[in-house]
Structure formats: structure tokens, C-alpha cells
Chain A
Amino acid sequence: NAGVMQNPRHLVRRRGQEARLRCSPMKGHSHVYWYRQLPEEGLKFMVYLQKENIIDESGMPKERFSAEFPKEGPSILRIQQVVRGDSAAYFCASSPMEGNTEAFFGQGTRLTVV
């Protein structure tokens, strides 16, 4: 049973470009969470999705950020017109149930905006 798969592991974008981060949850998991971790900071919740639905996006910036989890395929976190402050590690986690059970994390995508 493969774990949570994120790709790419490292992503470099110039200011103003778009970044697309992918997350394939563990087999059998239909709940996906995205977190952002700035250097020397904790993990900040961004968005919680189930298949084809955004359940809670209270941690997402209002502009430039969007997320989806289609019926088929991985969950995508999309950042438009990236700025230097978007540089961070973005972690995806999945669980078989809602957040009252442990979540399993992918290895993260390290986004660097130059």
C-alpha cells in the first residue's frame, strides 16, 4: 500500500508564474488536507477536501490559491501569480475518515519562488 504521494518534490517558479502541486492520497483514503509550513514555523492548515468537494477552506488565502480533488486523479493545489512569500513546504495529508483519526503525510513539495 503506497503512502501519500506528492509531486513534484521540489518546484522552482519565477514570480508571476503558476505553481501546481499534486497529491495522491493513500489507497482507500477519501479525505485530503493541505498544509503550508514556512521556514522555522509550524504547519498551517489551508484546506480540507473530499472527493469533488471542498469541505473547509478557511486557511486558504482569498486570492491566487485554489484547490480541487476531482473524482479521478490527484488533489491539486494551485497557486497563481506566485510571489516570494509563497516559498514554503506544502504538505498533503490523507485519512480514511474525518480528522478524528490520524492523518498520513506525503513528503511535501518545496516551492521556491525566485
Chain B
Amino acid sequence: EVQLVESGGGLVQPGGSLRLSCAASGFTFSDHYMDWVRQAPGKGLEWVGRTRNKADSYTTEYAASVKGRFSISRDDSKNSLYLQMNSLKTEDTAVYYCARPNSSFDYWGQGTLVTVSS
């Protein structure tokens, strides 16, 4: 059974940093691209970014709203995905989901809440 479990969310002040993790199981993690998607409270879904697999050189893509502030990485030996978030803004407050793209997103984690507030 495919499982994605996010962790690392919490309360952080504007300008601060936070690192989210996503632990994957039930599939060959190293074969897959992996993404982060977020959802602000009461709002719709927003794609954050993607890391490709080793075969595609672990290259990344980002939404314009986070480019230069957020960084996606992975550790295939630990079946883990990461989202390093720097220079956080109040508008980054959201539930952050890791998701597996198989063209569309066929598996999602349960999400972890990040609150950016003073």
C-alpha cells in the first residue's frame, strides 16, 4: 500500500524558515518524480514544485510564488522528500501535501499545517 506521511509543520514567524519532510512507502520511491502542493485555509489547491528522479538528474521545478525561497530535495536511500522553506511570508500559511505524480497526482499524503504568523 502506497503511503505518504508529511511532518515538520508548525508555527513560524514571518521571515523564518521551516523544513518539511515526507516519508514514502509502498512503492519504489527512487523511480518517481515527487511534488509538493499546498492549500491555504479555506482556499483552493496550489502546486508548489517538483523534484524529478535520478534518471532525470534530480532537476526541480517551482511555482513563481516560491521560487528562490523554497527548495525541494530528496533522499532516495531514506525514501524521503523534503521542502526547505526560507523567508516565509504570512501568505505561505497553508496545509502542505506531498503528492506522487503519475502524470496526474495518484497518491497524496495527509498534509501538514504551516502557520506563518507573528
Task: Say whether A and B bind each other.
Answer: no
- The chain A residues found within 8 Å of chain B, CB to CB, are none
